[in-house]
Amino acid sequence: MKKIVVVGAGPAGLMAAEVLSGAGVAVHLFDAMPSVGRKFLLAGKGGLNLTHSEPADLFASRYGHRRQQIEALFKVLDASRVRDWAASLGVETFVGSSGRVFPTDMKAAPLLRAWLTRLRHPKNGPPVQFFMRHRWTGWHQPESETDVADRDGQVASPTWLDFDTPQGPVQVQADAVVLALGGGSWARLGSTGAWVPWLQAKGVVVAPLLPANCGFDVHGGWSEHFASRFAGEPFKSVAINFTNAQGHLFARKGEFVATATGVEGSLIYAASSLLRDDLLAHGPVTLRLDLLPHMAPERVLAEVSHPRGSRSLSSHLKSRLHIEGIKAAVLYERLSKEQMHDPLALAQAIKAVPITLSAVRPIDEAISSAGGVTFESLTGPLMLKPLPGVFCAGEMLDWEAPTGGYLLTACLASGAVAGQGVLAFLSKK
């Protein structure tokens, strides 16, 4: 019986293992962590966002310049079929008010338990064998073997892999390999990016790993007063807009959070790829924060200009515009005393507070990462062109997407495609 090695026990690796096991193939799944799906469980701690219910065309647009490649994966497993797959595990889902799809109990653990039960006790075919605390350390070529060229003159795929284990180094042979090693974020859960030089040494083109869905530092930092009082506080019911050097406008309503050094949260994450790329290419970038997106500028000016009598400016803003707390604080933070007492300047700032960002937060803090194995280095079934028989899936591929179920859906889809690719490879082999 053919033996397939899957390296990485996250959603992409587990889905590849499911496809292969369901086809009767023996799967040995290796992971560096003591247990399966560490990042998956942590990501679902506040509610597992499986996928999104929006129309397919809009859904596919969330993948930016990699839309074409990711959309091809959805032919095998799209958002609708992700919900069907969850239901097959006994996990019902619902659509939230934002269009996001969650398990009815909101938890990741029950789905993971049901998934592992299926993999360990399949109705047909051999059970998936799990090898935990096995950290992949690169390719291994036994001295007794030599490289064998395939029909196209390429070097045959490396079928031996090295692993570090608590019991010492081990070598594993496979008929084909699926690498689902994650990107570069949350290294403590296994996504270290250590694999990059090992693939590059084999001729695989890897785009630099960069933080995605990430936070940013504010230029010059917040004042000590603002940071001490408002770090961790959310800006709610606001909007931001930003135009990059290429003239692409990002404008959206939502909320985000002030940190001790800058900003993070869903609205910032949604703009993070544009902000990051512009910042890395051209230096500090400035976004505009609309504190009252539901109110026209003329109305804001009228309310600010309304006589306030003996009331303080803070009381005036609170009573006329309900601006208080962190919203009032950011005005005092970013405007001079003269601007605060100039009705026109204040009204304009309320609709467009300038926030300049000077640095991207480290990749290990990011929810996900951009960059990775380029699709140009892969065949359609996600096999590495320089390494026949080696497939890649998940976040280690060169794509990114905002939060909202898009990350998990693409990881699952890529795992399914890689699994099918292995089956096709074995049938030809």
- In this predicted structure, what is the pLDDT of residue 40? 94
Amino acid 56: pLDDT: 97
> Which residues have C-beta within 8 Å of that of residue 41, sequence separation ≥ 6?
108, 109, 112
pLDDT mean over 101-108? 96
Strand, helix or coil for residue 212? strand
CA 157/CA 177 separation, integer angstroms: 9
**Mean pLDDT over all residues of the chain?**
94
Q: What is the pLDDT of residue 97?
A: 93
Residue at 184: amino acid letter? G
**CB neighbourhood size of 205 (10 A):** 16
pLDDT at 152: 41
Confidence of residue 140 (pLDDT cuts 50, 70, 90): confident
- Please provide the size of the chain in residues: 429
Predicted confidence at residue 156, as pLDDT, reads: 42
Distance between CA atoms of residues 322 and 276, nearest Å: 33
Q: Sorting pLDDT into bands at 50, 70 and 90, what band is 154? A: very low
Q: Give the amino acid at 271.
A: A
- Are 425 and 4 within 8 A, CB to CB? no
Q: Give yes or no for a contact between 183 and 206, defined as CB atoms under 8 angstroms apart.
A: no
Residue 148 has pLDDT above 90, yes or no: no
In sequence order, what are the residues at sequence separation of 6 or more whose Cβ sits closer than 8 angstroms to the Cβ of residue 158? 139, 140, 141, 177, 202, 387, 390
Average pLDDT over residues 329-345: 96
Handedness of CA 377, 380, 382, 385 (dihedral sign): negative
Report residue 369 CA to chain centroid gap. Answer: 6
The per-residue pLDDT for range 227-279, each reduced to its tens digit, is: 999 999 999 999 999 999 999 999 999 999 999 999 999 999 999 999 999 99
Residues contacting 159, CB < 8 A, separation 6+: 173, 174, 175, 177, 389
> Which 8-state DSSP code applies to residue 294?
T
Instruction: Please check the confidence at residue 146 and state whether its pLDDT lies above 60.
Output: no
Task: Give the model's pLDDT for residue 142.
Answer: 61
pLDDT tier at 145 (50, 70, 90 boundaries)? very low
DSSP 3-state of 262: strand
Q: How confident is the model at residue 125 (pLDDT cuts 50, 70, 90)?
A: confident
Half-sphere exposure of 300 (CA within 13 A, CB side): 20
Provide the Cα torsion 232, 369, 240, 403; round to 10°.
Answer: -80
Among the CATH numbers 3.20.20.70, 3.40.50.150, 3.50.50.60, 3.40.50.720, which is that of 3-211+369-428? 3.50.50.60
Confidence at residue 44, expressed as pLDDT on a 0 to 100 scale: 86
pLDDT at 143: 53
d(CA 25, CA 3): 7
pLDDT for residue 408 is more than 60: yes
pLDDT value of residue 155 = 38
Residue 406's pLDDT is 97
Q: Give the pLDDT mean for 118-125.
A: 91
Whole-structure pTM value: 0.92
pLDDT at 149 over 50: no
Per DSSP, 228 falls in state H
Among 121-125, 198-202, 380-384, the range scoring the smallest mean pLDDT is 121-125
Indicate the residue type of 399: W
Q: Which helix (H) or strand (E) holds 349?
A: helix 343-351
- Nearest 10 degrees: Cα torsion 106, 109, 113, 118: 50
Mean pLDDT of all residues in 7-30: 97
3-state secondary structure (DSSP) of residue 321: helix
Average pLDDT over residues 95-99: 95
Q: Which residues contact 344 (CB under 8 A, 6 or more apart)?
A: 301
Reading the block at residue 50, the tokens are 């499986």
Residues 6+ apart with CB under 8 A from 245: 278, 281, 282
Task: Determine what percent of the chain is predicted with pLDDT higher than 70.
Answer: 96
Neighbour count for residue 324 (Cβ, 10 Å):
13
Q: Where are the domains of the chain?
A: 3-211+369-428, 216-360
Strands (E), 204-274: 206-212, 216-218, 234-243, 249-258, 262-264
- Determine the residue type at 411: C
Q: Is residue 340 within 8 Å of 312, Cβ to Cβ? A: no
